[in-house]
Amino acid sequence: EKGGHDYFMLKEIAEQPKAVADTLLGRIDGAGSLRLDEVRIPPHELREVDKVVIVACGTAFHSGMIAKYAIEHWTRLPCETELASEFRYRDPILDHRTLVVAISQSGETMDTLMALRHAREQGAKVLAICNTNGSTIPRESDAVLYTHAGPEVAVASTKAFLTQLVACYLVALYLGQIRGTKWGDEIRTVIRQLSEISGAVEQVLETMEPVRELARSLAGHDTVLFLGRHVGYPVALEGALKLKELAYMHAEGFAAGELKHGPIALIEDGLPVVVVVPSPRGRSLLHDKIVSNIQEIRARGARTIVIAEEGDEAVVPYADHLIRIPITPTLLQPLVSTVPLQVFACELATARGNDVDQPRNLAKSVTVE
């Protein structure tokens, strides 16, 4: 049942190209436009939406953080992403023009369910992004966009996360498509690039041996830090979460720009720091800034593990370890940059003798608040 793998987690990591492709299947028409008729909120109602609020927990929350960048860019709608467990206690401002997106693999997470109930009571529309057919969260939502990751058995979410990202991009692009923004051409191009992205995920999986080797060599460390900017920031948080829950190590993710406001004090000789580097194309200012962040931490003794696009030569002099990922559009990069971090955490945890499918103190579905 583990398909020849030692752990479900390894099987599920390997299934990601298919999970991504399956989640796109049937949702892009022959003309290259999105068809999301299954989302039963009529286009005229979606056109009236004036704010998007995303609620989710854990790994699903990280996909929601990435969705915020995509939604604000392609739709020009204000978007907030909030931890479901914090949401209703702050009496959030919601009305019938608010679209609330609840993201959940299991569809049973109590924090997320309570947040969506609160949103509906205030008159907001709720769209669920969910991997489990007929579970409670989609049943209680106005509409649902299912992710097609297939059953996820390992406690730590991997393939569900990638498909949540795909679903978030679909929602962002679809809202952009029906509302019409100045990014119309870019939206069409990105839909096409998204339809081809599973090949890039496959490509990453084929080059993971050096990452596994590196992970094993770090098994004796106590701390690993993760840095990113823009959509690389939630990826850094996700890399740290995976390492915490699987390897039981102190792992923290930071927005690289925040480093100088405090966390840089943590850097000491030999400390492994993983840096997720944005594409040098497009937002090149961002790229230059992260290169200086890498220089700064390296000058203070950090052992830098750099995840960067193929052809990005600027990072080479400052990378103690370089992990290459395929060139992707800026906003889609998390689909490829997350994969090495999953492999890294899984291998490091195994090297420390942990059961990666059943980490201590955790359950697959958290049905208490």
Which residue ranges make up the site for ligand F6R (CB under 6 A)? Answer: 57-60, 104-106, 109, 112, 156-157, 241, 245, 365-366
Phi, psi of 144 (to 5 degrees): -140, 140
Spatial contact of 23 and 163, defined as CB atoms under 8 Å apart: yes
Query: Least Å distance between CB 235 and ligand F6R?
Result: 14
Q: To the nearest 10°, the Cα dihedral for 184, 189, 195, 197?
A: -120
Q: How far apart are CA 36 and CA 329, in angstroms?
A: 22
For ligand F6R, give the closer residue by CB, 141 or 157: 157
For ligand F6R, give the closer residue by CB, 9 or 286: 9
Could you report how far apart the first and last alpha carbons of the chain are, in Å?
32
Query: Least Å distance between CB 367 and ligand F6R?
Result: 10
For ligand F6R, give the closer residue by CB, 57 or 166: 57
Cβ neighbour number for residue 194 with a 10 Å cutoff: 23
For ligand F6R, give the closer residue by CB, 245 or 357: 245
For residue 191, what are its two tokens? 């839909």
Q: How far apart are CA 113 and CA 194, in angstroms?
A: 30
Query: Least Å distance between CB 352 and ligand F6R?
Result: 17
Query: Least Å distance between CB 265 and ligand F6R?
Result: 28
Closest Cα partner for 105 from 54, 52, 163, 44?
A: 163
For residue 219, what are its two tokens? 């098994």
Q: How far apart are CA 322 and CA 318, in angstroms?
A: 9
For ligand F6R, give the closer residue by CB, 8 or 318: 8
Residues near 89 by beta carbon (within 8 Å), at least 6 away in sequence: none
Query: Least Å distance between CB 226 and ligand F6R?
Result: 15
For ligand F6R, give the closer residue by CB, 326 or 340: 340
Q: How far apart are CA 239 and CA 349, in angstroms?
A: 13
Closest Cα partner for 323 from 211, 224, 216, 238?
A: 211
For residue 189, what are its two tokens? 């191009």
For residue 361, what are its two tokens? 């103190």
For ligand F6R, give the closer residue by CB, 7 or 318: 7
Query: Least Å distance between CB 344 and ligand F6R?
Result: 14
Query: Least Å distance between CB 274 and ligand F6R?
Result: 17
For ligand F6R, give the closer residue by CB, 319 or 356: 356
Residue nearest ligand F6R by beta-carbon distance: 58
Query: Least Å distance between CB 294 and ligand F6R?
Result: 27
Closest Cα partner for 282 from 163, 195, 179, 193?
A: 193
